[in-house]
Structure 1
Amino acid sequence: MSYARQIRPVIDRVYVAARWTARARMEAFYAERGAELGAENSFYSGLLARPMPADALADGLAYTDGDMSPELTRGVLKVDAEGTWHLTELGRELARYAQRATGEAAEELWSAGPPMLPGLASVPRLAELVGRVLAHGLATGGPAFRAMTPPYEPDDASPAVLLTTRLGSLRHHRADAHRAAWRAAGLTAEQIKALPDGPERAAIEAETDRRDAPAYAVLSADERWELLAGLGALPS
């Protein structure tokens, strides 16, 4: 099994656990402002740094209906004549809170583990390793990854905010790789979602691994295992 495939579920577990732990507080903050979680919440690490091109957003929403009318109606995002998406003042407030709340939730999770695990002490080093992967991955990432990288990192960001934000961007490198793989096989989003396990699915996953792997080439073999083990040891 390739390293890219080995580390992906570990990245997903760490990031999704932080996001779900933060969800209730994000929903409460949004509700006070008459809003609901939307694209600004899903793509905050990129949108806070730069406007999002139409092709990047379309790819990021490839497995959904792609309807952005709620964000437009609530005044969270606006779109210009070229189809590029921009945060409004309200959208920026919501996205900044989403980033902060995700980091705070992660810090709570990672400080609650058993004492024999490094927990929070390992987070600065893990954030540094992921940052290097992000920078290297710009040469091979697709539209969504390029829109999300480098991520927005406030000057006062804690190590937990840095790591969760960087992981949120890194997930798009493989997501772009997967979309490129099934498109190269002549499939649509609906077809890949319905595709059963078998040789065709295995070939697409292998091609995804091949396209995703170059981002990690910047790390030495020891650093790759350090990253995998370090993320895997974080409580969730």
Structure 2
Amino acid sequence: MSYARLIRPVIDRVYVGARWAARARMEAFYAERGVDLGYENSFFSGVLARPMPAEALADGLVYTDGDMSRELAQGVTKVAAEGTWHLTELGRELALYAQRATAEAAEELWSSGLPMLPGLASVPRLAELVGRVLAHGLATGGPAFHAMSPPYEPGDASPAMLLVTRLGSLRHHRADAHRAAWRAAGLTAEQIKALPDGPERQAIEAETDRRDEPAYAVLTADERLELLAGLGALPG
């Protein structure tokens, strides 16, 4: 199994665990402002750094209906004539809170593990390793990854904020690789969602691995194991 495939579920568990731990506080914050969680909440690591190109947003929402009418109606975002999506002042406030809330929830979660595990003590090093992978992945990432990288990192970002924000961006390197793989096979988003396990699915996953793997080439073999084990040891 490729390293890219091996580490992906570990990345997902850590990142999604932090996001779910922050969910209640984010919903409360949004409710006070009378808006719903939208694209700015899912893509905060990128949209806080730069406007999101139309192609990148379409790819990021390819498995959904892609409807942005709610965000537009609630004044969270606006779209330029060329199709680029920009946060409004409200949208930026929401995205900044989503980032902060996710980092706070992650820090609480990661400090709750077993005493013999490194927990928060490992987070600065893990953030550094993921940062190197992100930078190296710019050579091979697709539209969504480039919209999300380099991620937005405030000057006072905690190690937990750096790690969750960087993981949020890194997930898009494989997502782009997967979309490129099933498109190259002549499939649509609906077809890949319905495709059962079998030779065709396995070929697409292998091609996804091939396209995703180069991002990790910047790490030595020992560093790859360090990243895998370190993320795997975080509570989530």
Give the TM-score of the pair, scaled to structure 1: 1.00
Report the Cα distance in structure 2 between the residues aligned to 1:176 and 1:77, rounded to whole angstroms.
24
Report the Cα distance in structure 1 between the residues aligned to 2:196 and 2:77, rounded to whole angstroms.
36
Secondary structure of 1:120's match?
Answer: helix
Report the Cα distance in structure 2 between the residues aligned to 1:139 and 1:34, rounded to whole angstroms.
40
Following superposition of structure 1 onto structure 2, how do residues 200-211 of structure 1 map, counting pairs within 5 Å?
200-211=200-211
| Paired position in structure 1 for 2:154 | 154
Question: Percent identity between the aligned chains?
Answer: 88
Corresponding letter in the other structure for 2:101: A
Matched, 1:233 2:205: no
Report the Cα distance in structure 2 between the residues aligned to 1:42 and 1:70, rounded to whole angstroms.
15
Equivalences, count: 236
Matched, 1:21 2:21: yes
Q: RMSD value over aligned CA atoms?
A: 0.3
| Paired position in structure 1 for 2:214 | 214
Corresponding letter in the other structure for 1:43: F
Report the Cα distance in structure 1 between the residues aligned to 2:24 and 2:235, rounded to whole angstroms.
19
| Paired position in structure 2 for 1:110 | 110
Following superposition of structure 1 onto structure 2, how do residues 16-165 of structure 1 map, counting pairs within 5 Å?
16-165=16-165
Report the Cα distance in structure 2 between the residues aligned to 1:35 and 1:44, rounded to whole angstroms.
16
Residue 50 of structure 1 and its aligned partner are, at CA, apart by 0.2
Report the Cα distance in structure 2 between the residues aligned to 1:7 and 1:139, rounded to whole angstroms.
20
Q: Which runs of 5+ in 2 are unaligned?
A: none
Report the Cα distance in structure 1 between the residues aligned to 2:160 and 2:100, rounded to whole angstroms.
9
- Return structure 1 stretches of 4+ with deviation > 6 angstroms: none
Report the Cα distance in structure 2 between the residues aligned to 1:35 and 1:135, rounded to whole angstroms.
34
| Paired position in structure 2 for 1:4 | 4
Report the Cα distance in structure 1 between the residues aligned to 2:172 and 2:48, rounded to whole angstroms.
16
Corresponding letter in the other structure for 1:96: L
Corresponding letter in the other structure for 1:54: A
Give deviations 1:200-232, integer Å, cap 9, x for gaps.
Answer: 000000000000000000000000000000000
Report the Cα distance in structure 2 between the residues aligned to 1:208 and 1:84, rounded to whole angstroms.
27
Residue 89 of structure 1 and its aligned partner are, at CA, apart by 0.1
Q: Which runs of 5+ in 1 are unaligned?
A: none
